Amino acid sequence: MATYAEMQQIFDDIRGDFRYDHELNGCLNCGICTATCPSAQFYDYSPREIVQLLWTENVEQIYDAMQEKIWACAQCMTCAARCPFKNSPGGLVAIMREVAIKHEMQSAKDVLRPFGRVMLKLITTGNQLSPDMIQPDHFPDWGPNIQKVEGDLRVLRKAIPVKTLQTVETAWEVSLKTSVEMYTIWEMTGVLKSLELMDENLFDVIEDFIDEKREDYEDWLEEQEEEDDD
Amino acid sequence: MTQDTVLVVGAGPSGLTAAANVTAAGYKAVMVEKEDTLGGAPILSGYAKLVPSGEWAKDAIGRMVKRVEDDASVTIHKGAKVTKLDGDAGNFTATLSNGESVAAGAVVLATGFTHFDSINKPEWGFGTFEDVLTTTQMEQMVAAGKIACPSDGRVPERVCILLCVGSRDRQIGREWCSKICCTVSANLAMEIKELSPETDVFIYYMDIRTYGLYEDKFYWKSQEEFKTKFVKARIAEVTASGDGRLLVKGEDTLVKRPIVIPFDIVVHAIGMDPNADNPEISQVFGVGLEKHGFIERAEHYTNTCGTTRRGIYSCGAAYGPETIDDSIAQGAAAAGRAVGDLHALVQKAS
């Protein structure tokens, strides 16, 4: 459990975000956000509650909501499209999630852990998801139908009646240049910094891989120049 | 003579009052009304019983129309608009769309408002489902004396009224409160229950603003005597269920859970927009509009009935959402100010 000063600091970081005043104008407590929220139908999550906690600066309950509730939001932003005050509860949740990562909260680590596999795939192939990742124990939330893809993935993939790469490790090809650009974007937008805070081991693996790919790209560029000189 | 005549534009409650008060002071009035019928929104939209008197609109406003029609000092142009205004305070010449021209020393813009068009909030089902109505349509149903679902004529078990449709909504650029809808809706709920005792009425609100003396006569009475249920929730969507009823999705904010409730009729308590003609009115008369698009007041405390142009006055819902009672009071005030200023001009000249 955090001290009050720590919880205050977490709230100050949320409130200090440059988007905060844009996403929160006040609240009429009308509940249209929660009424329209798909997650509120299934989870103990209410966008109106999040807005109220922030607007009334309830630092203890804000901290409490960051343990589980904010991770139930699907970021569909229907709340923002409905709010008569033009608040964006979903936008506020996005800020809270980033602050949860910055503060290395356990809830963020727990929620993001399954995405480590996606991250690694993206770094190594440029694809978020490939057929070989679809396994029953990887996606328990996909339900019993996941059993249908158990078996020989190569055969199953060949049965798809549109053109595929006929591989199971990638979905499509991504050029080296595109991959290197993506690394730069991740660096500049703080994605890699967030990853370091959430999972240091994965960060080290990915950093090594990025360095390797960048060297490959440099080599490729040099080769091109040499060819041009000829 | 120009300086003994006041041009009144619009023949709703405020305009009819202004004209009557101009002639009561010994001046002449010329009324220009764009519709073919006098009486303004209460007559044109077929309102039922008025707040707070409980008198039928056609009787109450009808009396106001008759007073002006019977007044020899009032000249009335129906189905006509002012297309051009020349001159200055004390000496205006208005050109009308019917080809006539009017010489007047002052102008009172009693140009009123336009009802919000619910089509602009498609998620609430107006225009999609037959049993979604506006307050004006429901008033017409009350005035006709029978409460029934338009889709199949059955008597509704449950009717709900959604407040703030076209009001207090930044999503559609309407940030104002339309002021009258809470009381009108409480009144309508009682009228529905009176005509159809087996029908239960629910009102979904963000805040209840039955201000002043409306509190007990409408908000309390509708609950105590007519069992109207008030639920604090803004509705997210209106959809249809398999059995032909309407489904209303909201959050019961006091119980804090999303709810989906079946209804037979959904009524939109539509707000008051600036008159759709205001851009044209602003150009023709050379008066400014305030930020929401209503007529801009000259100065709040010492020139309350003025506009940004000298010699042109306004009153009622032209200035912003307004009740019928206050529109009448403002119509009288604008007439008083107009003839007062004309009197001063004549004194100065002599």
User: Which CATH number belongs to the domain containing residue A103 in this structure?
Assistant: 1.10.1060.10
Sign of the CA dihedral running B145, B150, B155, B160:
negative
- Do the beta carbons of residue B102 and residue B94 sit within 8 Å? yes
Taking an 8 Å cut-off on Cβ atoms, the answer to whether B207 and A28 are in contact is yes
Q: Which residue of A has its CA nearest to B249?
A: A35
Q: Is B107 exposed, middle or buried (0-12, 13-18, 19+ CB in 10 A)?
A: buried
Q: Percentage of chain B with pLDDT > 70?
A: 100
For A146-165, how does the pLDDT look when each residue is reduced to its tens digit (9 = 90+)? 766 667 777 877 777 777 66
- Do the beta carbons of residue B288 and residue B306 sit within 8 Å? no
Is residue B350 scored above 90 in pLDDT?
A: no
For A53-72, how does the pLDDT look when each residue is reduced to its tens digit (9 = 90+)? 999 999 999 999 999 999 99
Helices A176-189 and A191-198, axial angle in degrees (round to 10): 70
Judgement on whether residues A144 and A185 belong to the same structural domain of the protein: yes
Task: Give the closest-approach CA distance of A36 to chain B in angstroms.
Answer: 5
| Per-residue model confidence (pLDDT) at position A229 | 76
Task: Give the closest-approach CA distance of A10 to chain B in angstroms.
Answer: 26
Residues of chain A positioned with their CB less than 8 A from the CB of B164 = 84
Q: Which of A92, A110, A128 is at the close of a domain?
A: A110
Q: Does B206 touch chain A (CB under 8 A)?
A: yes
Task: Give the closest-approach CA distance of B289 to chain A in angstroms.
Answer: 24
Task: Give the closest-approach CA distance of B152 to chain A in angstroms.
Answer: 29
Q: Does A52 touch chain B (CB under 8 A)?
A: no
Q: What residues contact residue A109 under an 8 Å CB cut-off, 6+ apart? A: A198, A199
- What band does B332 get if pLDDT is binned at 50, 70 and 90? very high
For B145-164, how does the pLDDT look when each residue is reduced to its tens digit (9 = 90+)? 999 999 999 999 999 999 99
The amino acid occupying position A205 is V
For B38-81, how does the pLDDT look when each residue is reduced to its tens digit (9 = 90+)? 999 999 999 999 999 999 999 999 999 999 999 999 999 999 99
Judgement on whether residues A76 and A123 belong to the same structural domain of the protein: no
Q: Does A34 touch chain B (CB under 8 A)?
A: yes
Which DSSP category does B312 fall into? E
Judgement on whether residues A10 and A61 belong to the same structural domain of the protein: yes
Positions of chain A with pLDDT under 50? none
Query: DSSP H helical segments within B276-323, as ranges?
Result: 278-285
| Number of compact structural domains in chain A | 2
| Per-residue model confidence (pLDDT) at position A168 | 80
Judgement on whether residues A145 and A225 belong to the same structural domain of the protein: yes
> Which of the residues A27, A32, A39 would you substitute to probe the B interface, choosing the one with the greatest number of B C-beta atoms within 10 Å?
A32
Taking an 8 Å cut-off on Cβ atoms, the answer to whether A30 and B253 are in contact is yes
Residues of chain B positioned with their CB less than 8 A from the CB of A29 = 206, 232, 253
Q: Where in chain B is the domain with CATH 3.50.50.60?
A: 2-112+275-349, 118-272
Which DSSP category does B317 fall into? G
Tokens coding A169? 């490790």
Q: Does B239 touch chain A (CB under 8 A)?
A: no
Residues of chain B positioned with their CB less than 8 A from the CB of A84 = 164, 168-171, 206, 234
Point out the residue among A25, A36, A86 whose CB comes nearest to the CB of B236.
A36
Q: Does B326 touch chain A (CB under 8 A)?
A: no
What is the Cα–Cα distance from B303 to A139, expressed in whole angstroms?
Answer: 71
What is the Cα–Cα distance from B230 to B223, expressed in whole angstroms?
Answer: 8
| Per-residue model confidence (pLDDT) at position B320 | 98
Point out the residue among B164, B169, B251 whose CB comes nearest to the CB of A34.
B251
Which DSSP category does B220 fall into? I
Q: Does A138 touch chain B (CB under 8 A)?
A: no
> Which of B317, B297, B314 has the alpha carbon at shortest distance from B179?
B317
For B260-294, how does the pLDDT look when each residue is reduced to its tens digit (9 = 90+)? 999 999 999 999 999 999 999 999 999 999 999 99
Q: Which residue of A has its CA nearest to B204?
A: A30
Q: Which of A110, A136, A166 is at the close of a domain?
A: A110
The β-bridge relationship of strands B246-252 and B237-240 is antiparallel
State the pTM of this model: 0.85
Judgement on whether residues A120 and A79 belong to the same structural domain of the protein: no
B118-272: CATH number = 3.50.50.60
Q: Which domain holds residue A196?
A: 115-229
What is the Cα–Cα distance from B263 to B231, expressed in whole angstroms?
Answer: 14
What is the Cα–Cα distance from B208 to B182, expressed in whole angstroms?
Answer: 6
Task: Give the closest-approach CA distance of A18 to chain B in angstroms.
Answer: 22
| Per-residue model confidence (pLDDT) at position B257 | 82
> Using only C-alpha atoms, what is the Rg of chain A?
22
Mean pLDDT to the nearest integer, B80-98 = 97
Q: What residues contact residue B110 under an 8 Å CB cut-off, 6+ apart? A: B8, B9, B10, B11, B12, B14, B15, B18, B314, B315, B316, B318, B331, B334
Q: Does A46 touch chain B (CB under 8 A)?
A: yes
Taking an 8 Å cut-off on Cβ atoms, the answer to whether A28 and B206 are in contact is yes
| Per-residue model confidence (pLDDT) at position A131 | 78
> Cα–Cα distances in Å, from A222 out to A175, A183, A214, A229?
17, 20, 12, 11
> Cα–Cα distances in Å, from B156 out to A100, B13, B140, B194, B235?
50, 33, 16, 13, 20
Taking an 8 Å cut-off on Cβ atoms, the answer to whether B251 and A86 are in contact is no
Tokens coding A55? 């607007």
Point out the residue among B234, B250, B258 whose CB comes nearest to the CB of A84.
B234
Taking an 8 Å cut-off on Cβ atoms, the answer to whether A82 and B236 are in contact is yes
Judgement on whether residues A98 and A138 belong to the same structural domain of the protein: no
Point out the residue among A31, A82, A84 whose CB comes nearest to the CB of B253.
A31
Residues of chain A positioned with their CB less than 8 A from the CB of B251 = 31-35, 40, 46, 48
Q: Which residue of A has its CA nearest to B250?
A: A35
The three-class DSSP label of residue B306 is strand
Judgement on whether residues A119 and A26 belong to the same structural domain of the protein: no
Q: Which of A110, A139, A168 is at the close of a domain?
A: A110
Judgement on whether residues A101 and A19 belong to the same structural domain of the protein: yes
Judgement on whether residues A74 and A162 belong to the same structural domain of the protein: no
Residues of chain A positioned with their CB less than 8 A from the CB of B169 = 84
Please indicate whether residue A169 or residue B299 has the higher confidence score (pLDDT). Answer: B299
Which of 3.90.1150.10, 3.40.50.2300, 3.40.50.10420, 3.50.50.60 would CATH assign to domain B2-112+275-349?
Answer: 3.50.50.60
Is residue B1 scored above 60 in pLDDT?
A: no
Q: Does B251 touch chain A (CB under 8 A)?
A: yes
Backbone angles phi, psi at B213, to 5 degrees: -80, 0
Judgement on whether residues A212 and A125 belong to the same structural domain of the protein: yes
Taking an 8 Å cut-off on Cβ atoms, the answer to whether A35 and B233 are in contact is yes
Judgement on whether residues A119 and A220 belong to the same structural domain of the protein: yes
- Do the beta carbons of residue B82 and residue B34 sit within 8 Å? no
Checking A206-211 for CB contacts under 8 A at 24+ apart, the result is A206/A119, A206/A120, A206/A123, A209/A123, A209/A124, A210/A123, A210/A183
What is the Cα–Cα distance from B194 to B197, expressed in whole angstroms?
Answer: 6
What is the Cα–Cα distance from B102 to B118, expressed in whole angstroms?
Answer: 38
Judgement on whether residues A69 and A139 belong to the same structural domain of the protein: no
- Do the beta carbons of residue B159 and residue B191 sit within 8 Å? no
Residues of chain B positioned with their CB less than 8 A from the CB of A41 = 258
The amino acid occupying position B266 is V
- What band does B132 get if pLDDT is binned at 50, 70 and 90? very high
Q: Is A79 exposed, middle or buried (0-12, 13-18, 19+ CB in 10 A)?
A: buried
| Per-residue model confidence (pLDDT) at position B169 | 97
Q: Percentage of chain B with pLDDT > 90?
A: 94
